[in-house]
Chain A
């Protein structure tokens, strides 16, 4: 998915409450090629209405899982917002959407 977006100049960018150090471990563990941003103050998560108070197994405030596909103006073309903990983004759905929205003329 990352590569598909890169061919069009875009990227994946992830946000969580993890500290930069914790995120670096995730990047290394999964050999990720995109940035993971740290919202340790939960300020952006709050702005997006994605705060899950005491949502972690240890009672920390974390994010409701969500994904937004946007164009170069930041307009939302596709979104997924989890309603249950089991819900995860289907990478194929995102790929299909990217191809649909950005197929070369």
Chain B
């Protein structure tokens, strides 16, 4: 956005810049961008695209605050920074799972019998007796 220099009054009209809005939009774009690319392993694991967008959002927002001293830009800038801090916290600490010593130390699988998707009981040992088997625990449909 361009400045609006006043031609008549000695004190210049308040400078305005929409960069502070753009900064916030970039930060907000980090979440959908991350979700869109979630099936790319390296991007999912590092969160690279999200961090780039959040970093860009902060930089653009800061540039906007330098050019535009209105209260609203400061408030939005504060919200922007808060969102980035929350995002970083959630990605790094909020995503941590409990440690599992049992699973880390298990040398032989503990046998069990559970119902399959057709409610038929299936015993683990009967599966791996037939050949190399990959047992996968997953979070479920959540």
Q: A residues near B, CB below 8 A? A: 1, 5-6, 8-18, 20-27, 35-39, 43-45, 47-53, 55-58, 60, 62-77, 79, 81-90, 94, 98, 101-102
Contact = CB atoms under 8 A, between A and B. Distances in A.
Main secondary structure of the interface of A (DSSP, over half): mixed
Contacts of B111: 74
A84 B95 contact: yes
B114 A79 contact: no
Given A10-B131, A50-B103, A73-B128, 4 more contacts: A9-B131, A15-B137, A64-B100, A85-B95
B: interface residue count bin: 35 or more
B117 to A, nearest CB: 4
A69 B103 contact: no
24 contacts: A8-B132, A9-B131, A13-B135, A14-B136, A15-B137, A16-B141, A27-B117, A35-B117, A44-B114, A48-B100, A48-B102, A48-B106, A49-B103, A50-B100, A56-B140, A62-B139, A64-B97, A68-B109, A68-B135, A74-B111, A74-B124, A75-B107, A85-B96, A86-B95
